[in-house]
């Protein structure tokens, strides 16, 4: 029986370097790993690759964990929650001697060697290669040193790196997204696996970790494809089966360049602050390269988990399209229940509804939920709802300066006169209150029709009289959500204003 054909338990990892906040492209890598793990009922592991001590900070690590948690990409093992394959921070794994032990094995087996070349020599070598129009490659000066010679140099205090001895071979990366990609080891050159200060190089640490963490599938950006060639050689040297690879395309801006600051927001935190829901972000990021089996694009997390297959991930470049993200964000906003929507807009409400009762706010929130594109519009939209406006300055008001609008306002005021001014109602009564306002609007519409006034005139007049604008919340929401006194006041004020302007117009010489 060929053991390598026995399917291994699915274990995937997301391995960010905490040298910045979580980029939207990295979030997509995390998402594909998460979806794959959950679909396959495997494990999703978080590994922190913080070997670049100068650039890594624990503040960045914290912010990455926070953003992943906000996106709902919960991991099974990681630096904060442990697991059987820890530690999950590479810096701690350096301390534990994990990499030096693995490198020691390669040295013993002569699959790696110590290199004593100075930085100056290496720089010069690189320049010579470039001058000849060749890819820089180490010339193997130290590859022939015997273990004794190397020991003597070490004992004399000479600094040394450890280099991987690249065998002459063809390397085939068998990738679930890219298919077979061939590399010749010839171009790679013997690469450093342990630096002279004892630090570990990325291509070595990753392999040692992927082995010890029993990673079955590596899903990451295609910028790592050439690293994979080196990593496969290290797997082979350590006598281990490599995981299965899947390199997804990178996210590009609309101009075809790598997505960067000049295209707008790039980090998950920036999208959060701009009012995007995590549900919309992950839905959008998944669709950037993955094609669901059905036609529906507005998908929940569990629907994506159920449907996610790597073979449906395309290798074409993923062009970032903010319009599509906006569209999905709107759909996911509409999908939130009342409590979830209330909580989601909390950070964006500010003082916009300061004087409103809980029930009035609930009506207004219901009204704006139907049309928000991002949560960041909340404050302005609630202000449109609750704040008073200046008739003189309200642009849309000009269209009301005609007799039919006067008549609409009279009918509305008369209809309201029958209602009590006591409008205290509970949050649980929001629906009946809106239903009552709808009935009121229907009665008014009937009255207008009797008076030959088109419905459109009625809607526009009342909305402009209540808010100063012809577009905005649906009329029944305004009638239910604004205090009844406020409604009366704004309608009668509009009436007096229009009446006065019309009188001026008709006065001779006026
Ligand atoms: N730390 C690497 C990065 O942030 C991850 C590489 C990998 O997934 O192997 O790009």
Q: What is the mean pLDDT of each run of 10 residues along the chain (510 residues)?
A: 62 98 97 98 98 96 98 98 97 96 98 97 95 93 96 97 96 93 91 96 98 98 94 98 96 91 92 98 97 97 97 94 97 97 96 90 95 97 94 93 97 84 76 92 96 96 96 92 92 97 79
Kindly state if the Cβ of 12 falls inside 6 Å of ligand 1.
no
> Given phi > 0 = left and psi -120 to 50 = alpha, else beta, which region is 289?
alpha
pLDDT given for residue 459 in this prediction: 96
For residue 352, the domain's CATH number is 1.10.10.350
Cα distance between residue 195 and residue 119, in whole Å: 12
3-state secondary structure of 21: coil
409 and 477 in a single domain? The answer is: yes
Report phi then psi at 201, rounded to 5.
-85, 150
Q: Are 433 and 480 in contact (CB under 8 A)?
A: yes
Atom of ligand 1 nearest to the CA of 13: 8
Alpha helices in 322-402 (DSSP H): 322-335, 338-349, 358-369, 378-386
Ligand 1, atom 7: closest residue by C-alpha:
15
418 and 286 in a single domain? The answer is: no
Q: Give the residue from 344, 360, 379 where a domain finishes.
A: 344
Is residue 458 domain-resident? yes
pLDDT given for residue 506 in this prediction: 81
H or E, element range at 159: none
Ligand 1 center from residue 380 Cα (angstroms): 41
Ligand 1 center from residue 16 Cα (angstroms): 6
Beta bridge partners of 170: 184
Is residue 146 domain-resident? no
Catalytic residue among 126, 182, 261, 366: 261
Ligand 1, atom 4: closest residue by C-alpha:
16
Q: How many domains does the chain have?
A: 2
Q: Give the residue from 344, 373, 403 where a domain finishes.
A: 344
Kindly state if the Cβ of 56 falls inside 6 Å of ligand 1.
no
367 and 322 in a single domain? The answer is: no
pLDDT given for residue 416 in this prediction: 87
pLDDT given for residue 3 in this prediction: 45
For residue 326, the domain's CATH number is 1.10.1160.10
Give whole-number Cα distances, 484 to 254, 417, 438, 489, 491, in Å: 49, 10, 15, 9, 11
Is residue 378 domain-resident? yes
Q: DSSP letter for 141, please.
A: G
Is residue 18 domain-resident? no
Residue 503 CA, chain-centre distance (Å), reads 58
414 and 335 in a single domain? The answer is: no
CA atoms within a 13 Å half-sphere pointing along the CA-CB vector of 245? 25
Kindly state if the Cβ of 15 falls inside 6 Å of ligand 1.
yes
CA atoms within a 13 Å half-sphere pointing along the CA-CB vector of 297? 15
355 and 440 in a single domain? The answer is: yes
Cα distance between residue 69 and residue 272, in whole Å: 12
Q: Are 49 and 202 in contact (CB under 8 A)?
A: yes
355 and 303 in a single domain? The answer is: no
Edge-to-edge strands, sheet with 192-194: 112-115, 161-164, 192-194
> In testing the pocket of ligand 1, which one of 93, 220, 225, 248 has its CB within 8 Å of the most ligand atoms?
220
Torsion of Cα atoms, 339 then 341 then 345 then 346, to 10° = 10
> Angle, nearest 10°, between helix axes 358-369 and 430-450?
70
Kindly state if the Cβ of 11 falls inside 6 Å of ligand 1.
no
Q: DSSP letter for 8, please.
A: P
493 and 416 in a single domain? The answer is: yes
Cα distance between residue 178 and residue 220, in whole Å: 12
Ligand 1 center from residue 122 Cα (angstroms): 26
Ligand 1, atom 6: closest residue by C-alpha:
15
406 and 305 in a single domain? The answer is: no
Is residue 90 domain-resident? no
Kindly state if the Cβ of 206 falls inside 6 Å of ligand 1.
yes
State the residue range of the domain holding 274.
Answer: 261-344
Please confirm, yes or no, whether 261 is among the known catalytic residues: yes
Kindly state if the Cβ of 220 falls inside 6 Å of ligand 1.
yes
Q: Are 162 and 192 in contact (CB under 8 A)?
A: yes
354 and 501 in a single domain? The answer is: yes
Cα distance between residue 184 and residue 168, in whole Å: 8
Ligand 1, atom 5: closest residue by C-alpha:
15
Ligand 1 center from residue 362 Cα (angstroms): 45
337 and 371 in a single domain? The answer is: no
Cα distance between residue 473 and residue 375, in whole Å: 16
Is residue 89 domain-resident? no
Q: Give the residue from 323, 344, 365 where a domain finishes.
A: 344
3-state secondary structure of 504: helix
Cα distance between residue 430 and residue 425, in whole Å: 8
pLDDT given for residue 420 in this prediction: 60
499 and 354 in a single domain? The answer is: yes
Is residue 176 domain-resident? no
pTM of the model: 0.92
- 318-339 as b/e, with b when 16 or more CB fall inside 10 Å? bebeeeebebbbbbbbeebeee
Q: Are 16 and 49 in contact (CB under 8 A)?
A: yes
pLDDT given for residue 417 in this prediction: 82
Atom of ligand 1 nearest to the CA of 14: 8
Q: DSSP letter for 144, please.
A: G
Is residue 160 domain-resident? no
Give whole-number Cα distances, 346 to 350, 353, 386, in Å: 8, 11, 17
Ligand 1 center from residue 181 Cα (angstroms): 20
387 and 359 in a single domain? The answer is: yes
């Amino acid at each position: 029986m060929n053991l390598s054909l026995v399917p291994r338990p699915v274990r995937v990892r997301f391995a960010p370097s905490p040298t910045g906040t979580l980029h939207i492209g990295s979030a997509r890598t995390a998402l594909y790993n998460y979806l794959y793990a959950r679909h396959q009922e495997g494990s999703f592991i978080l590994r922190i690759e913080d070997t670049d001590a100068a650039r890594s900070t624990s503040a960045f690590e914290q912010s990455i964990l926070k953003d992943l948690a906000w996106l709902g990409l919960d991991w099974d093992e990681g630096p904060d929650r442990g697991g059987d394959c820890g530690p999950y921070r590479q810096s701690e794994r350096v301390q534990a001697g994990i990499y030096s032990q693995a490198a020691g094995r390669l040295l013993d087996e002569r699959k790696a060697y110590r290199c004593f070349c100075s930085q100056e020599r290496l720089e010069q070598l690189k320049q010579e290669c470039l001058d000849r129009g060749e890819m820089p490659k180490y010339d193997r000066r130290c590859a022939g040193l015997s273990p004794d010679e190397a020991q003597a140099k070490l004992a004399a205090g000479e600094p040394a790196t450890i280099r991987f001895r690249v065998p002459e071979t063809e390397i085939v990366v068998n990738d679930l997204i890219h298919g077979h990609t061939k590399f010749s080891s010839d171009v790679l050159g013997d690469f450093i696996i342990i630096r002279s200060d004892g630090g570990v190089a990325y291509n070595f640490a990753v392999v040692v970790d992927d082995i010890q963490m029993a990673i079955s599938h590596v899903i990451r950006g295609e910028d790592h494809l050439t690293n994979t060639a080196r990593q496969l050689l290290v797997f082979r040297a350590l006598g281990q089966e490599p995981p299965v690879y899947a390199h997804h395309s990178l996210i590009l801006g609309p101009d075809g360049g790598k997505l960067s600051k000049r295209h707008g927001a790039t980090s998950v935190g920036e999208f959060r602050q701009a009012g995007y829901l995590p549900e919309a972000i992950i839905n959008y990021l998944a669709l950037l390269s993955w094609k669901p089996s059905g036609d529906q694009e507005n998908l929940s997390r569990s629907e994506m988990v159920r449907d996610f297959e790597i073979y449906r991930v395309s290798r074409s470049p993923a062009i970032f399209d903010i319009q599509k993200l906006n569209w999905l964000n709107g759909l996911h906003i509409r999908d939130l229940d009342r409590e979830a929507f209330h909580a989601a807009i909390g950070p964006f409400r500010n003082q916009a509804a300061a004087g409103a009762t809980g029930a009035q706010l609930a009506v207004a929130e219901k009204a704006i939920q139907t049309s928000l594109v991002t949560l960041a519009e909340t404050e302005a939209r609630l202000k449109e709802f609750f704040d008073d406006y200046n008739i003189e300055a309200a642009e849309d008001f000009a269209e009301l300066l005609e007799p039919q609008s006067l008549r609409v306002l009279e009918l509305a005021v008369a209809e309201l006169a029958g209602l009590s001014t006591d409008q205290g109602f509970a949050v649980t009564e929001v629906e009946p209150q809106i239903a009552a306002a709808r009935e009121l609007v229907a009665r008014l519409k009937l009255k207008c029709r009797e008076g030959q006034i088109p419905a459109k005139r009625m809607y526009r007049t009342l909305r402009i009289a209540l808010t100063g604008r012809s577009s905005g919340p649906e009329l029944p929401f305004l009638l239910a959500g604004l205090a009844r006194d406020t409604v009366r006041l704004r309608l009668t004020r509009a009436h007096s204003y229009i009446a006065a302007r019309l009188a001026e117009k008709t006065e001779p010489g006026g």
